[in-house]
C-alpha cells in the first residue's frame, strides 16, 4: 500500500514492500561498505554465504560484485508494483533485455545530457566504440564503479537479464522466503507510523524518517520513503529517473536496553577518532561540502566520506540535499550526545 503527501516543492510517497527488502538484502550482502557498520554485522554475511550456491556467487561477480546496481530494480517495483516476490519476478521476465541492462549499468540513476544518453544506449546495444566513454559518463560520480560498469556494458543484455533473475530467485528461495511474512508485517507497521505524519510538510517528513535535510527542487519530482530492516542504521539513497528513494531504517524498540547500549556505543565510537573530531569542529559554524572538508582536512574523498558515514551512523551529523550536498551538525550537539547516554543510565540496572 502506498500513501502520498504533496506540496508545491516536493511530492512524497511512503511505500512498504518485502520486494524492496529482498533487493536491499542482496545489495548489503554484495556491498562495498563494511558490514561491521551495519546492525546485522559481518557474521550475517558469512551465514548467508554458506546458504548460497557457488553458481549464485559467480553470478553476483558477473553482475558487478560489490559495485553492481541491483538496487536500481527498486525503481521497477515503484513504477509497476507487484504484490509478491514471485509476481515481481514475472514482471522482470517480461522486461526487455536491453531495459534490464540499462537498469544494471545505472542508466536511470541520473538525468543525463542527450549526448551521454545516446552514447550509453549505443554501448548497451553492443557498440564497442562507445563502451569506454559510456562507462566514464555513467560512473562520473562514483568512479569506483567504472570497471564493473565497463564489464556489464560488454556483456550481452540477454545474459545480464538471466543473471539478475537467477540471483533474485535463489536469494528469495534460499534466504528470504522464510522471513518474508515477518518482514512484511514489520515494514507495513512502520510505514503506517510514517503515514501518521503525512500532515507534516514533505521536507520535514523526509528529515524525520532519514535525518537528511532535503532542499533540492530541480532534480527530483518525487521522493519515496521505504522502511528497511537490513540497512539499519544506514539510509540507502537510490536515485531513479526523476525519483529519489530513501530506504530508511526501521527503528528498534527505544525502551530496549540492547537498543540503548548499541546507540550509545555507536555514538561514542564516532567521537573516538581525532579526524572525526576535527570534522565536527569544522562543522560548528556552517555546513560544508565533501570537497570543502577534504580541502581543509587535506584528506582524500574516500577517507572523509568514511568518517562522515560513521558520524551519520552515530546520529551526530546530517546531510543537506540542496543544489549541492552539504553536511552539518545535527541539532544541539551537546544535548544530542548527552541524551542517549542519560537515557541508558536511567534504565533499571537489572535491565541494562
- At 181, give phi and psi (nearest 5°): -65, -45
CA dist 163 and 271 (Å) reads 42
Check whether the bond before 180 is cis (ω within 30° of 0).
no
CA dist 162 and 93 (Å) reads 9
More confident residue, 275 or 208: 275
How many alpha carbons lie under 13 Å from residue 197 in its C-beta half-sphere? 17
Domains, the chain: 21-179 (no CATH), 257-345 (1.10.10.10)
pLDDT tens column, 54-78: 999 999 999 998 888 899 999 999 9
Quick check: 88 pLDDT over 60? yes
Largest CA distance in the chain: 68
Predicted pLDDT of residue 8: 45
Contact 100, 161 (CB under 8 A): yes
Query: How confident is the prediction for the chain on average, in pLDDT?
Result: 86
Separation of CA 71 from chain center: 8
**What's the whole-model pTM score?**
0.80
Predicted pLDDT of residue 5: 46
pLDDT tens column, 115-136: 999 999 999 999 999 999 999 9
Residue % of the chain over a pLDDT of 70: 88
Q: pLDDT grade, residue 7 (50/70/90)?
A: very low
Would you state the cell numbers that stand for residue 331, as one nine-digit string? 541539532
Q: How far is CA 333 from CA 283, 314, 316, in A?
A: 11, 12, 7
Task: Summarize the confidence of residues 291-315 as an average pLDDT.
Answer: 87
pLDDT tens column, 10-55: 788 899 999 999 999 999 999 766 777 788 888 899 999 999 999 9
Beta-bridge partner residues of 225: 14, 246
More confident residue, 331 or 162: 162
Of the listed ranges 65-74, 142-151, 325-334, the least confidently predicted one is 325-334
Amino acid at each position: 500500500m502506498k500513501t502520498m503527501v504533496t506540496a508545491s516543492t516536493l511530492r512524497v510517497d511512503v511505500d512498504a514492500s518485502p520486494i524492496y527488502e529482498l533487493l536491499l538484502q542482496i545489495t548489503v550482502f554484495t556491498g562495498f561498505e563494511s558490514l561491521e557498520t551495519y546492525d546485522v554485522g559481518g557474521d550475517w554475511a558469512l551465514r548467508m554465504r554458506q546458504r548460497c550456491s557457488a553458481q549464485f556467487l559467480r553470478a553476483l561477480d558477473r553482475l558487478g560484485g560489490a559495485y553492481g546496481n541491483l538496487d536500481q530494480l527498486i525503481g521497477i517495483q515503484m513504477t509497476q508494483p507487484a504484490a509478491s516476490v514471485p509476481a515481481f519476478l514475472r514482471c522482470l521476465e517480461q522486461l526487455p533485455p536491453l531495459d534490464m541492462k540499462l537498469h544494471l549499468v545505472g542508466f536511470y540513476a541520473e538525468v543525463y545530457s542527450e549526448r551521454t544518453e545516446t552514447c550509453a544506449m549505443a554501448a548497451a546495444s553492443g557498440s564497442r566504440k562507445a563502451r569506454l566513454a559510456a562507462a566514464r559518463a555513467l560512473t562520473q560520480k562514483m568512479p569506483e564503479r567504472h570497471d564493473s560498469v565497463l564489464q556489464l556494458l560488454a556483456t550481452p543484455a540477454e545474459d545480464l537479464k538471466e543473471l539478475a533473475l537467477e540471483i533474485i530467485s535463489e536469494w528469495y528461495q534460499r534466504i528470504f522466503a522464510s522471513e518474508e511474512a515477518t518482514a512484511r508485517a514489520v515494514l507495513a507497521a512502520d510505514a503506517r507510523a510514517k503515514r501518521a505524519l503525512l500532515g507534516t510538510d514533505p521536507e520535514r517528513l523526509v528529515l524525520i524518517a532519514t535525518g537528511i535535510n532535503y532542499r533540492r527542487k530541480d532534480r527530483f519530482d518525487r521522493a519515496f520513503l521505504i522502511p528497511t530492516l537490513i540497512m539499519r542504521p544506514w539510509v540507502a539513497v537510490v536515485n531513479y529517473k526523476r525519483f529519489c528513494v530513501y530506504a530508511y531504517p526501521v527503528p528498534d524498540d527505544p525502551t530496549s536496553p540492547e537498543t540503548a547500549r548499541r546507540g550509545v556505543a555507536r555514538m561514542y565510537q564516532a567521537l573516538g577518532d581525532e579526524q572525526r573530531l576535527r570534522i565536527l569542529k569544522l562543522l560548528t559554524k556552517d555546513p560544508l561540502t565533501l570537497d570543502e572538508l577534504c580541502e581543509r582536512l587535506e584528506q582524500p574523498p574516500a577517507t572523509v566520506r568514511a568518517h562522515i558515514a560513521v558520524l551519520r551512523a552515530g546520529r551526530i551529523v546530517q546531510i543537506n540535499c540542496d543544489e549541492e550536498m552539504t553536511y552539518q551538525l545535527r541539532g544541539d550537539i551537546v544535548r544530542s550526545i548527552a541524551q542517549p547516554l542519560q537515557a541508558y543510565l536511567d534504565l533499571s540496572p537489572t535491565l541494562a
